[in-house]
C-alpha cells in the first residue's frame, strides 16, 4: 500500500509535464482545476481496465421485486460503486446472465458477484498502480497543459508500457491458474 492521495497523484503528473506541484485541489490555478476535473474519470478508466486486487469486491445481490419482461426470471441492481463485472456466480459454477443498463438479469434467486469497484482511496493502491495513475493523469493533462502532440503521444506510449508491467505484477499476486484434467490435456501429454 502507499501513502498516495488524489492530490499527490495529480501533482506528480503535473510535475512530469514541467508544471508546478500543488497541495490542495482548492488552489486557484487553471492546471489544478484541470487535474481536479479529470481525475475521477481517469481513475475510473484505469480501474476498469483490469481487475486490480485493490479494487475487487464480492457481494451477494438480492433480486428486485420487478422481474424482467422475458428471458430471465430475476433482475439485480448493480452496486453504486460498480465499474466492471469480473465474475457472476461462484468460482467454477458460472451463471448465465445479461447486463442491461445498471442491472444484471439471471435465473437465480440470489446473485454472487465479483466486481471492480470505484476505489477512491489511492492509499490502498499498489505502488505500480499509483505510477500508472500518475502517468494516466499526465497523458490526460498533457495537451491542455503543453499543447504538444508529440509529448502527449510520448506520455501515452509510456502509459501503455507502464500499464503492461503493472497488470502483470498485479496478476502475479494470485496462485497460478490450474486447469482441470480432461481428455484434451491427457491426449496432449500421452
Q: Does residue 186 have a pLDDT over 80?
A: no
- Average pLDDT score over residue span 85-93: 93
- The full set of domain ranges for the chain reads 6-51+125-171, 56-117
CA pair distance 32, 55, nearest whole angstrom: 26
Q: How confident is the model at residue 173 (pLDDT cuts 50, 70, 90)?
A: confident
Q: Does residue 177 have a pLDDT over 90?
A: no
Amino acid at each position: 500500500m502507499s501513502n498516495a492521495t488524489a492530490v499527490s497523484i495529480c501533482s506528480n503528473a503535473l510535475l512530469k509535464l514541467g508544471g508546478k506541484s500543488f497541495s490542495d485541489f482548492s488552489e486557484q490555478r487553471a492546471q489544478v482545476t484541470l487535474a481536479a476535473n479529470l481525475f475521477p474519470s481517469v481513475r475510473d478508466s484505469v480501474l476498469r481496465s483490469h481487475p486490480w486486487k485493490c479494487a475487487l469486491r464480492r457481494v451477494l445481490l438480492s433480486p428486485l421485486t420487478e422481474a424482467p419482461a422475458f428471458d430471465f426470471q430475476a433482475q439485480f441492481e448493480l452496486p453504486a460503486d460498480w465499474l466492471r463485472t469480473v465474475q457472476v456466480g461462484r468460482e467454477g459454477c458460472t451463471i448465465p446472465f445479461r447486463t442491461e443498463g445498471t442491472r444484471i438479469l439471471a435465473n437465480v434467486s440470489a446473485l454472487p458477484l465479483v466486481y471492480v469497484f470505484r476505489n477512491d482511496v489511492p492509499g490502498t493502491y499498489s505502488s505500480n498502480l499509483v505510477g500508472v495513475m500518475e502517468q494516466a493523469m499526465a497523458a490526460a493533462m498533457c495537451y491542455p497543459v503543453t499543447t504538444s502532440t508529440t509529448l502527449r503521444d510520448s506520455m501515452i506510449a509510456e502509459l501503455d508500457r507502464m500499464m503492461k508491467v503493472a497488470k502483470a505484477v498485479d496478476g502475479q499476486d494470485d496462485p497460478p491458474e490450474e486447469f482441470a484434467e480432461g481428455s484434451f490435456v491427457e491426449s496432449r501429454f500421452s
